[in-house]
A = this chain, B = another copy of it.
Amino acid sequence: MKFFHTADWHLGKLVQGVYMTEDQAYILDQFLEAIKLEKPDAVIIAGDLYDRAVPPTDAVQLLNQTLETIVIDLKTPVLAIAGNHDSPSRLNFGSKIMKSVGFHIVGEFSHPFEPVILNDEFGEVHFHLVPYTEPGKVRHVFLDDTIKSHDDAMKKIIDKIDDIKDEKARHVLVGHAFITHNGEEKENTSDSERPLSIGGAEHVNDSHLKDFHYVALGHLHQAHHSGIETIRYSGSPLKYSSSEANHKKGYLVVELNGEGEVTVEKRLLTPRRDLYIVEGYIAEIERHSHCEDYVFVRLLDESPILSPMERIRSVYPNAMHVERTGVKAPTLTDSESHGMNRMKLDDLSLFKAFYKEVKGLDATRETEQLFEKTLQKILEIEGER
């Protein structure tokens, strides 16, 4: 049996105020092409189909068209779960009706479990679809007060799956969680993932999952295995933050043979516009050739630059962010330049330092007086309010 494993589409996502829907449509088109060519037996989407509980309508339309194409036109079953960004009940709508046509989606966590069963020449493969769930919900469903963390919750869920596991079949778990190897955290997180819990109890030990023939995960946006090669994140199909600049985005092709052995291949997708970091001096960057990519620019210049974004966008019209890593406030000593110390400067000194930083010249006495007069006036007006 061969299936595609993808996750974290985040349809409807805004990156730095830019809607990614067109980029998402572009990448999903390639994904559909790949399904058409390779004819997998199923497509797994391991959560975060949408970026938020109530996605914009064009994201709803994009997901609808994509799923219709896979399920109806390409006659390929889809196995999907809700992630922490999705609304369980909204994603659940129609799930029972769509099941019989080959679209299996589990939005809301519930028990008893019922795997989706697909067949190949070697027999049955059971897909266990576990949507993202708060530990409190699992505690409530099983009336088990010992469940406190995500780790406790996943352990309980796996125990319950074990109870119904048909030993003759092969088993695939589809989940959306923060899985780490024996509790050690590797550097696999990105800025575009929303923490699952505040205070650190979000990690789930991969040892709970080791008895499945394959575990298809969503949540972390970088493709990797947990440390156990059959427990994998496919990663998101697109870069959603500058911390993902060096990721290679795509999806996984998983082949499961009759013995339950797995081979995994990563296939890359080509984005409409890449997303990466450009570092350099403004004068250098202005000599780059015109480029539509989503760039995050780090300017090394130490001297003041007026309208840096405007200048950068003449070359990179879709630049997302400019940061000035080379800047030091020239009139301040090192200790003064520290934010906390700056706040201790009086208003006039602060103004003078700012003026010099921007204009490259000291403020004249006349300018200082104008500043003081204006500030005085503002403070008076504010006092009257």
CB-CB contacts of A20-62 with B at 8 A, as 1s and 0s?
A: 0000000000000000000000000000000000100110110
A71 touches B97 (CB 8 A): yes
Which B residues lie within 8 Å of A93 (CB)? Answer: 60, 63-64, 93-94
Question: A256-276 toward B: CB 8 Å interface, digit per residue (1/0)?
Answer: 000000000000000000000
Identical chains bound together, number: 2
**A72 to chain B: which residues have CB within 8 Å?**
96-97
Q: Establish whether residues B97 and A68, one from each chain, have CB atoms under 8 Å apart when the complex forms.
A: yes
Known: A68-B96, A97-B72, A98-B98. A90 touches B57 (CB 8 A): yes
Q: Chain B residues near A103: list those with CB within 8 A.
A: 94, 97
Chain B residue numbers with a CB within 8 Å of A60 are 89-90, 92-93
Which residue of chain B is the closest to A78 with respect to CB atoms?
B97
Contact of A87 (CB < 8 Å), options: B57, B63, B92, B385: B57
Give Cα A2 to B64, complex, Å: 32
A90–chain B nearest beta-carbon distance, Å: 6
Which residue of chain B has the shortest Cβ distance to A70 in the bound complex? B97
Residues of B close to A94: CB separation below 8 A: 64, 67, 93-94, 97-98, 103
CB nearest to A103 among chain B residues? B97
Q: Is the CB of B61 within 8 A of A89?
A: yes
A380, chain B: closest CB distance, angstroms? 15
Pick the residue among B63, B64, B67, B98 that contacts A101 (CB under 8 A): B98
Q: Are B101 and A97 in contact (CB under 8 A)?
A: yes
Give bound CA distance, A60 to B53, whole Å: 13
Q: Which residues of B contact A57 (CB under 8 A)?
A: 87, 89-90
Residues of A that sit less than 8 Å from B by CB: 54, 57-58, 60-61, 63-64, 67-68, 71-72, 87, 89-90, 92-98, 100-101, 103, 385
